[in-house]
Amino acid sequence: MDDIRQNPSSGDEVALRRIQRLSLHLYTPSEPHSGGLSLLPCRAKRNLSPSVESLSEYMRGPHREIQARIFEFFQSRPDLQTPVEISMAEHRQLCMRQMTALVREAGIRPFRYLVENPSAYFAIAEAVGGVDISLGIKMGVQFSLWGGSVINLGTKKHKEKYFDGIDNLDYPGCFAMTELHHGSNVQALQTTAIFDPITDEFVINTPNDGAIKWWIGNAAVHGKFASVFARLVLPLQGKGGKSADMGIHAFIVPIRDLETHSLLPGVEIHDCGHKVGLNGVDNGALRFSHVRVSRDNLLNRFGDVSRDGKYTSSLPTVNKRFAATLGELVGGRVGLAYSSVGVLKIAVTIAVRYSLLRQQFGPPRKPEVSVLDYQSQQHRLMPMLASTYAFHFATQYLVDKYSEMKKTNDDQVIGDVHALSAGLKSYVTSYTARSISTCRESCGGHGYAAVNRFGILRNDHDIFQTFEGDNTVLLQQVAGDLLKRYQEKFKGGTLTMTWNYLRESMSSYLSQPNPVTARWEGEDHLRDPKFQLDAFRHRTSRLLQSVAARLQKHSKTLGSFGAWNRCLNHLLTLAESHIESVVLAKFIEAVQNCPDANTREVLKLVCDLYALDRIWKDIGTYRNVDYVAPNKAKAIHKLTDYLSFQVRGVARELVDAFDLPDLVIRAPIGMASEAYEQYTQHVGF
């Protein structure tokens, strides 16, 4: 070969190029190019035999015991189990009875966990959501929203007065933020709270129909109090003796008599009626007609009004006070992301178990084969199963970071949690919503039966994409935060933990892709977590740099708002790419930290499928910048299909490891055993 290199003829040049190209397929990626051919070692394929018990033990986290208590309690109380067919009025009453029984009979106090041990609270929320998603949301309204607003936005006097009543359900309440005309744009709310210095009261008023509080959970039937978000107005405190608008604040407003449950004077409530889902939650619309509340009812952690009508705050501007107020409510997003993964686990479990059970067609004169043996079914469900595992570890990390935030109040952790909760809530809930429909389709006609849960899960979960922040709006918050960090990088600022990779490797990610590594297609290389994570982060860094340049260009002619709108789809793609990078990083960490070798091997397989499936789904991006050569793209596609086939071999164990009791699954076709027998019994045979 040295002779060929030194004295090449045209034919020799062709041969040399072919040999060099072939060598790219044969080099071990971790070894430097030595100039000679080296064969990758052949790795024997073997069947995995995962231990469900070991996998489940690693998955379940520290609060499985309290979840088991919840499941056992509701299993022992058939009168508290939600039937398939139930009217809206009956469902609402049942949900209230379920929540009351959980607190007063089972002795589980979610509110105390919310304050003292947030990760345990989220585990409780996941469990009760498994019993009935309406119950999970109603519990969230009572404790996380109504209770959380009192604890997080109020001060010691509010906790002393309201904590016990919220905790024991003597004070059922609402969270009255959304209005008919404004949902996501909270700063534009129109409800007013005008201070009356003569009576030392705030006057809560709905100035027009657009300001009617709308979609307020617990309001139509059960609520006795509401945290009302309104514009705090101080008469004569503005320029020239005009009224001063101090921005959005929260007020505790009694709405029903504690004894008679009658509406209080000036409070008008109407039922929002039957919804697509979550009909166990009583949503109502509230209008306030000059309702007077004590000055002490202002939740005054971030801003207060003295007896003589003077406003004081530790935060200097309306925008800073608003950010601090909403920042304290981030727990709702954390809970929704975490609970959405719980819903996804249920749907995937039903679909996978049924696909293993169901047999259709097969080779001539041979037994029919399992539906999950078909490549098309594997393509539908196995990447989804892998994503469920990925989201499990990512949201577990989010819950841990939220708990750390509540303990330390560290500014960097706060910033990290705010952006990460927005991103994961948006990404995970959107993915789950799409996946439930895919699971329904994968189960054919039997997936359409209400008793098999997909319709109920889809309808109840669908609104997860909207409340606690519309998903498109939340992704824009993530993109905005990324751009802020990008600017700080060039100003020498520090980055929070989730964004460290931007600081550490932005320059390398934005350099020209290596034409050699772009062609590597060996399985060891493609399954190397470094390659996978580098690919995800390369995409995010490219998107971030390019959208920053586009915004700068368009802002010169369109202004900042117009430029943002012109680049909006680009910004949303950037945010999703970043969240996928975080999810993969946390999955890789979970694999590496798994103490049991056999379980770790199974999780590595699932993690590889998640990573390569995501790369393949966006292969055009990688091809456009020559990060992946055509031969490598083809290899990724083939390996993704093969990994789906391998995961199919352990799919039963993977869904069993979720450790979901029959009380939660409930669908006859999703039972671990005797599925057809239970299905026929359900219809009366």
SS (H, E, C) 253-271: EECECCCCCCECCCEEEEE
Catalytic residues, by residue number, are: 468
To which residue do tokens 């600081």 refer?
503
Spatial contact of 136 and 335, defined as CB atoms under 8 Å apart: no
Burial of 571-603, coded b for 16+ CB within 10 Å and e otherwise, reads bbbbbbbbbbbbbbbbbbebbeebeeeebbebb
Which helix (H) or strand (E) element contains residue 563? helix 529-566
Tokens of 52: 């469900």
DSSP code, position 9:
-
Round to whole Å and give the CA distance between 147 and 113. Answer: 12
Q: Rounded to whole angstroms, what are the CA distances from 32 to 27, 28, 37, 38, 516?
A: 8, 8, 12, 11, 11
Q: Is 388 annotated as a binding residue?
A: no
| Backbone phi, psi, residue 291, to 5° | -85, 125
**First CA to last CA distance, the chain:** 78
Q: Which residues of 227-258 are buried (b: 16+ CB within 10 A; e: fewer)?
A: bbbbbbbbeebeeeeeeeebbbbbbbbbbbee
Q: Which amino acid is at 659?
A: D
Is 349 labelled as part of a ligand binding site? Answer: no
**How far is CA 672 from each of CA 590, 666, 677, rounded to the nearest angstrom?**
27, 11, 12
Cβ 447 vs Cβ 457: under 8 Å: no
Residue 214: what are its φ and ψ, rounded to 5°?
-130, 150
- Going 251 to 301 to 173 to 254, the CA torsion angle's sign is negative
DSSP letters of 289-334? SSEEEEGGGB--SS-EE-TTS-EE-SS-SHHHHHHHHHHTTTHHHH
Q: Tokens representing 560? A: 């900042």
